[in-house]
Amino acid sequence: MEWQRRAGRQDLPWQGSRDPYRIWLSEVMLQQTQVAAVIPYYERFLGRFPTIEALARADEEEVLRLWSGLGYYARGRNLHLAAQRIVSRYQGKFPQTSAALQELPGLGRSTAAAIAAFAFGERAAILDGNVKRVLARYCGIAGFPGDKKVEKKLWGFSEKFLPGKDIAIYTQALMDLGATVCVRANPRCDACPVRKTCVARKKGLTAKIPAPRPKKALPWKEATWWLMRHNGEVLLERRPSAGLWGGLWTFPESRPRGIEVTSRSELATLEHGFTHFKLRIRPVLCEVGRVRKAGPGMWIDLDEAKGAAVPTPVRTLLERIR
């Protein structure tokens, strides 16, 4: 904690607030996304939805638009759902314990604990990816931390080390240590406040602990995307809310009907990684002469489309064909 006050991060935009709404929003954005990428999104989002009531009232479409590019869109949909639930069931007042927070859509044990620690000073243990690495090294726990048995041990240590007070600073210290000192490759052990009692450090095992995720080749999937261009506009379709990129706008994956194509060209393929598979996208750019009948989807100006709720590969292609 002394190290956190001296050398930890102090100026992140969500620090210095005990407003559970702001803390919740930052912790959800910081799941699977690094601080530097989150900051501009966090500020834009708060600017548009300064309160939980404002977020609850919003259209899902607009929430996803502001989330666009941050990835893992279920986070945005769950955030919106949780805001609506907090407003309707709890009169807009946040649940005040990690146990109650964990019942909200999109919050697991660690995120709920972080929010409870920062906003309410609850003595709750966290265990996100960075903290797993810190504790695995400090306690000398071999094995892949995503493995259920290893994870269970790490939860045990995370609980055991909790101090009796100053939980918010302690929690931030763990996070900062993981993000700035006890980093995955070439940890900066000389700058570490707990180097003298770190098992991995003493045994020279910091490069071996934690063990990497066991390699299993992810399957490839393929999709053809039809980029229909007409008078400076492109055709986008909204994906069903359940499933991949739910609620976002993407290019049609089968050739739209009722549209006269005057020329077509295949663009370079694009690859996009998901948690469980990789997607190879084959874009086909079609110049459209005439739209004979209105089908599903919307025609949208190329420049405007970039500001819509679109996933990153759609944005990349919009840039390419501008």
Q: How far apart are CA 216 and CA 214, in angstroms?
A: 6
Number of residue whose CB is nearest ligand ADE: 30
Please confirm, yes or no, whether 27 is among the known catalytic residues: yes
Q: Are 305 and 234 in contact (CB under 8 A)?
A: yes
Q: How far is the CB of 108 from ligand ADE (least distance, A)?
A: 12
In the complex, minimum distance from the CB of residue 148 to ligand ADE, in angstroms, rounded to a whole number: 22
Nearer to ligand ADE, 30 or 104 (CB): 30
Kindly report the number of other CB atoms within 10 A of residue 81's CB atom. 16
Residue 122 binding ligand ADE, by CB under 6 A: no
**Smallest gap, in angstroms, from Cβ of residue 33 to ligand ADE?**
9
Instruction: Say how many Å lie between the first and final Cα of the chain, rounded.
Output: 51
Nearer to ligand ADE, 9 or 264 (CB): 9
Beta bridge partners of 13: none
Q: 298-301 and 233-238 as β-strands: parallel, antiparallel, unpaired? A: antiparallel
Sign (positive or negative) of CA dihedral 236, 240, 243, 247: positive
- Under DSSP, is residue 273 helix (H, G, I), strand (E, B) or coil? strand
Specify the 3-state DSSP secondary structure of 298.
strand
**Among residues 1, 7, 35, 37, which is the contact residue for ligand ADE, using CB under 6 A?**
35
Q: Do 175 and 112 form a contact (C-beta atoms < 8 A)?
A: no
Q: How many residues bind ligand ADE (CB under 6 A)?
A: 7
Q: Which of 2, 27, 62, 319 is catalytic?
A: 27
Quick check: 30 binds ligand ADE (CB under 6 A)?
yes
267 binds ligand ADE (CB under 6 A): no
Closer residue to ligand ADE in complex, CB, 114/135? 114
- Which of 4, 20, 25, 27 binds ligand ADE (CB under 6 A)? It is 27
Dist CA 111 CA 113 (whole Å): 5
| Nearest CB to ligand ADE, comparing residues 68 and 110 | 110
| Contacts for 37 with CB less than 8 Å, ≥ 6 apart | 70
| Candidate list 25, 131, 175, 209; residue touching ligand ADE; CB under 6 A | 175
User: In whole angstroms, how close is the CB of 26 to ligand ADE at the nearest point?
Assistant: 6
- Decide: is 115 part of the binding site for ligand ADE (CB under 6 A): no
3-class SS of residue 263: strand
Q: Does 174 bind ligand ADE (CB under 6 A)?
A: no
**How many CA atoms lie less than 13 Å away from 215 in the CB half-sphere?**
1
Which lies closer to ligand ADE via its Cβ, residue 24 or residue 251? 24
Separation of CA 35 from chain center? 10
Residues in a beta bridge with 224: 282
Tell me whether residue 35 or residue 223 sits nearer to ligand ADE (CB atom): 35
CB 203 within 8 A of CB 136: no
Taking the complex as a whole, how short is the minimal distance between the CB of residue 46 and ligand ADE, in angstroms? Answer: 15
Single out the segment in contact with ligand ADE by CB under 6 A; choices: 27-35, 66-74, 242-250, 307-315.
Answer: 27-35
Q: How far is the CB of 74 from ligand ADE (least distance, A)?
A: 18
The reply on whether position 12 binds ligand ADE by CB under 6 A is: yes
Judge whether 9 and 15 are in contact, CB under 8 Å.
Answer: yes
Residues interacting with ligand ADE, by CB under 6 A?
12, 27, 30, 35, 114, 175, 179
- Give the residue numbers marked as catalytic: 27
